[in-house]
Chains A and B, each alone.
Chain A
Amino acid sequence: DIQMTQSPSTLSASVGDRVTITCRASQTISPWLAWHQQKPGKAPKVLIYKASNLESGVPSRFSGSGSGTEFTLTISGLQPDDFATYYCQHYDSFPYSFGQGTKLEIK
């Protein structure tokens, strides 16, 4: 099974900052990687799919990159609405799996 490791687990940042979250897979999964955002008490929603494709309606300050086993989610110019938990997920082969999550907190 493919294991997904996210870092950091917690990230403190300020409005306007540029932040990066990293996700590493235990084997090559490119490009089958999605990033999901979840706010407290709400269902997740997809931000990025196939490593770098921005989901329709998602602000352009979100971007995804990477290939092979290492991927990043970057948020350029943090907005108050962006403070949430972010999960990476591979869908290269079954069983699909998620990273453990990165909680983005207000500094």
Chain B
Amino acid sequence: EVQLVESGGGLVKPGGSLTLSCEASGFTFSFNTMHWVRQAPGKGLEWASAINRDGTFIVYAESLKGRFTISRDNARSSLFLQLNRLRAEDTAIYYCVSQNPNGSYDWGQGTRVTVSS
């Protein structure tokens, strides 16, 4: 069974930093492109960032460029998202998403980030 378990969320002040983690199991992690998708309170889904299987291709939503950094450790079956210079509008649930080679997806349960003074 595929499992994606996010952690690292919490309350942080504007301008602060946070690192989110996603531990994967139940599939061959190194075969899949991985994504972060976020959802602000009461809003829809927003794709944030993606990293290919070996980490050689990385892409971000325009609004996040320069502040967020995605990375992965295939030996540990883990995905990361470093969030810097956080703003109130970054308050959201952040989901780890695995894109399978067949084109399907698996979602984690999400980790909540709240940016507030």
Q: Mark A residues whose CB is within 8 Å of B.
A: 32, 34, 36, 38, 43-46, 49-50, 53, 55, 87, 89, 91, 94-101
Contact = CB atoms under 8 A, between A and B. Distances in A.
Contacts of A100: 44
A34 B103 CA distance: 9
Contacts of B62: 95
Q: B interface, by DSSP: helix, strand, loop or mixed?
A: strand
A49 B47 contact: no
Contact of A43 (B44, B50, B61, B95): B95
A59 to B, nearest CB: 16
Contacts of B35: 96
Given A43-B110, A95-B61, A36 B45 contact: yes
A91 B46 CA distance: 13
Contacts of B50: 94, 96
Given A53-B103, A98-B44, 4 more contacts: A36-B107, A94-B50, A95-B62, A101-B45
Given A87-B44, A91-B99, A101-B44, A43 B108 contact: yes
Interface of B: 35, 44-47, 50, 59, 61-62, 95, 99, 102-110
A53 B107 CA distance: 17
Nearest to B63: A95
Nearest to A99: B44
A44 B105 CA distance: 10
B63 to A, nearest CB: 10
A98 B104 contact: no
B81 to A, nearest CB: 16
B104 A45 contact: no
A47 to B, nearest CB: 10
Given A44-B95, A95-B59, A95-B61, A49 B104 contact: yes
B47 A95 contact: yes
